[in-house]
Structure 1
Amino acid sequence: TRPTPITVLGRDMVAWRGGTRLSDDEPTWSVFMDRCPHRCAPLSEGRIEEDGHLMCSYHGWRFEPGTGACTSIPQLEQDDFERAAADPRSCVKVYPSQVRHGVLFVWPTHGADAALRAAATPLPLLPELVELE
């Protein structure tokens, strides 16, 4: 399966459904910066693995949905991988997202406080749809 490239406010992102499901009706979405931290290849040209991880098509680096943590660097032995994966530069930038009424809402910034700010900001929902909840 291929992820979907999207652009939000001029920022290139990649989105896909995968990872842990909240329920059978509501799969989780992950939204990353569309750039592999290794060689800046577009992650939207990668593929979604069976476990929901996103794999870069360039060198096979794999990233965990939701966190952006690097979970595999095929070219490295285990000790070297653990050292590389512990470096924050090996992680992909994650954009907070949430689905409501079948619409994927993406917070346009990433970073330590982005998820908190996104959670504290009301979604721009149509009153007609809110009444149906």
Structure 2
Amino acid sequence: MVAVADDGRLVVAELTRGLDIPGGHVQRGESSIDETVRREAWEEVRARLGVLHPVEVIESDYFGADDWTYMVIRTARVTELGPWETTHESAGRMLIEPEDFLRRYRGGDPALMRHLVTTALAALPAP
């Protein structure tokens, strides 16, 4: 999830692996990807989201060659930031300029993250 504040900064989670966009897995009982996206954004950065816009679907062999999964990327404007509380999901929340986030990102594939953030920002209508 690429969550964007009205001023264009990204709302990112402070995780043990460093700064990252909110994300996770569909849980039992969730009936849509959008429901999962909204839950993960709340759990990891305490953000309520406006209209979700599709960005990309990425096929992944993260769990092994015989266990393909899919990462579904969405973007949205943040409509509300709730009071912060540290949880097992995230140690903190940061609002950060996209280029600053991309320079500091260490959680995975920097080229893929640059692509996702750039594509997400282009897909998001102006506030």
Instruction: Say which structure, 1 or 2, has more relative contact order (CA 8 Å, 6+ apart).
Output: 2
Please tell me the TM-score bracket, short chain as reference. under 0.3
Going by fraction, where is helix more abundant, 1 or 2? 2
TM-score (norm 1): 0.25
Going by fraction, where is strand more abundant, 1 or 2? 2
TM-score (norm 2): 0.26
CA radius of gyration, larger in:
1
